[in-house]
Amino acid sequence: MDPLYIEETDDWLGNPTSLETCRHQLRMYENEFETLTLKLDRALENIEGLVRDNDALTQERNSLRAKLQYAEGGLLSERRRFADVEHNRNHLFNENQRLLREIRDRDEEE
Are the C-beta atoms of 16 and 24 separated by less than 8 Å? Answer: yes
Minimal CA–CA distance to 85: which of 20, 58, 77? 77
User: Domain ranges in the chain?
Assistant: 13-109
* 17 and 11 Cβ atoms separated by less than 8 Å: no
> Is residue 7 pLDDT above 70, yes or no?
no
What pLDDT, in 10s, does the model give residues 55-81?
Answer: 999 999 999 999 999 999 999 999 999
Q: Look up the pTM and report it.
A: 0.54
Q: What is the DSSP letter of 17?
A: P
- Residue 13: phi and psi, rounded to 5, are -70, 135
